[in-house]
Amino acid sequence: MITRRRNLVITVIIATLFYLYLLYFSHLGEHIKKDLFTSKLVDNIDKDNGLMDQYEKMPDEKYDNSAEVSIEKQKGILNPEDYCDDEPMVYAHISVKDNSKEVLKGKKFNCSTIEYLKKFKLTKEYKIKQKIKPKFPENAVFVIAADTGYYPPSRAVIATIQKHFGNKNKIILYDLGGIKENQDMMKEIKEICNLEFRVFNFSHLPGDVTGKKIFAWKVFIIAEVFMEYETFFYLDSSIYFETNNFGLFFDMIHNGSLAPFQMSGWTGHSLRHATNNGMYDFIPLDPEVTKRYWMMEANMMFFHRHEETRQIIKWSVLCAVTRNCIEPPGSSLGCPSEREDSPLARCHRQDQSAYNILLVNLEYKLNNQGKKVILHMDKNHPKNTKQRHSTRRGQMTSEKIAHCSKS
């Protein structure tokens, strides 16, 4: 009798303890889950270099993996000897005609030039995985470069930015020579709102591409700013804004109807007219690009952070540090005007030639993948539907551009 009662009491105690145990650990379980979740999030932030923030704010964005897929596809195209340190050093492009594909591959860039890709964070470790929604105009940075001779027209560019965008956007002015030593210029520069002054160090370029007319400096400036900012405009000293109405471009970049790298006006001649054939040895042009396909001006270009943009900047940097690519032997800057029967490759436009080939190849590639991007030459490209800026070489202004005195 006593034993049975004792057994019952023990059973009740054990059952109660077991119940309390379950109750306690189920709560604890939630804490453990929460902690795991938090630390995972922290891990991701580290891996994403702080860009996780933007990704988090856009839960509805679909991950755009098109650029990545094309790199995967390239793996089958490139051979082991086309890589240096696991990094592709051969530019490859697939041209599509009717249903057949042709693989075009450039000459391999010297393995020693990978140093520049590392410097500008353009190697494959820096693949851009997020789709980042452009914030225009608030996030746009304006980049200008000038030496003392081009300072007066650069002042006019700053005046036109201030007129249409106000003082809120950051302006970066690169000194290509002599400005830092000029007290009058520096006095004004220090009082321009939101302006960051940087001196371009030409000795960072390989010795055979330091000439200003080789324009490797411009490619380096763009690569440097791309490391730091999501959306920026590169502006030559000839650019005159007529409006700030570029939002449409960024909406269209975001919805995939425009490539994330855009050039501005038409040069008045074709890409093939003003490109030395030697450049195609490194960066082959899609043969389906029509004979008289426009060459666009490189005097205003804008870049939005995207994997395809990283690719364009990567190949432009490799070309810029390779004299035979950026300026092959026999290049002449002066272009005779082009007629229907003009021979091809009459002159050469260095950086402008390289950016044009990379851009049109990208647009053809995206269209071949069924993405339907609008080409720069299409009637409905936003650059062709409204005049937003003009080119005024040697422009000047008497307007006061320094009104943020910090002293």
Ligand X SMILES: *[C@@H]1O[C@H](CO)[C@@H](O)[C@H](O)[C@H]1NC(C)=O
Beta carbon of residue 238, minimum distance to ligand X (angstroms, whole number): 28
Tell me whether residue 251 or residue 288 sits nearer to ligand X (CB atom): 251
Look-up of token digits 């900047």: 313
Beta carbon of residue 217, minimum distance to ligand X (angstroms, whole number): 13
Residue 319, phi then psi, degrees to nearest 5: -65, -45
Secondary-structure percent of the chain, ordered helix, strand, coil, rounded to 5: 45, 15, 40
CA dihedral 27→32→33→35, nearest 10 degrees, is 130
Tell me whether residue 65 or residue 110 sits nearer to ligand X (CB atom): 110
Binding stretches for ligand X (CB under 6 A):
110, 112, 201, 203-204, 248, 251-252, 255, 257
- The Cα–Cα gap between 353 and 141 comes to 24
* Cα distance between the two ends of the chain: 98
Beta carbon of residue 358, minimum distance to ligand X (angstroms, whole number): 22
Tell me whether residue 110 or residue 167 sits nearer to ligand X (CB atom): 110
- The Cα–Cα gap between 260 and 309 comes to 6
- Which residues neighbour 377 within 8 Å (Cβ) at sequence distance 6 or greater? 293, 294
Beta carbon of residue 110, minimum distance to ligand X (angstroms, whole number): 4
Beta carbon of residue 380, minimum distance to ligand X (angstroms, whole number): 9
- The Cα–Cα gap between 46 and 144 comes to 32
Beta carbon of residue 124, minimum distance to ligand X (angstroms, whole number): 21
**Cα 50 to the chain's mean position, in Å?**
18
Tell me whether residue 248 or residue 402 sits nearer to ligand X (CB atom): 248
In the chain, the amino acid numbered 138 is E
Tell me whether residue 181 or residue 242 sits nearer to ligand X (CB atom): 181
Tell me whether residue 248 or residue 347 sits nearer to ligand X (CB atom): 248
Tell me whether residue 113 or residue 390 sits nearer to ligand X (CB atom): 113
Beta carbon of residue 142, minimum distance to ligand X (angstroms, whole number): 23
Tell me whether residue 115 or residue 138 sits nearer to ligand X (CB atom): 115
- The Cα–Cα gap between 70 and 290 comes to 23
- Which residues neighbour 392 within 8 Å (Cβ) at sequence distance 6 or greater? 153, 156, 238, 239, 240
- How many CA atoms, within 13 angstroms, populate the side-chain half-sphere of residue 39? 5
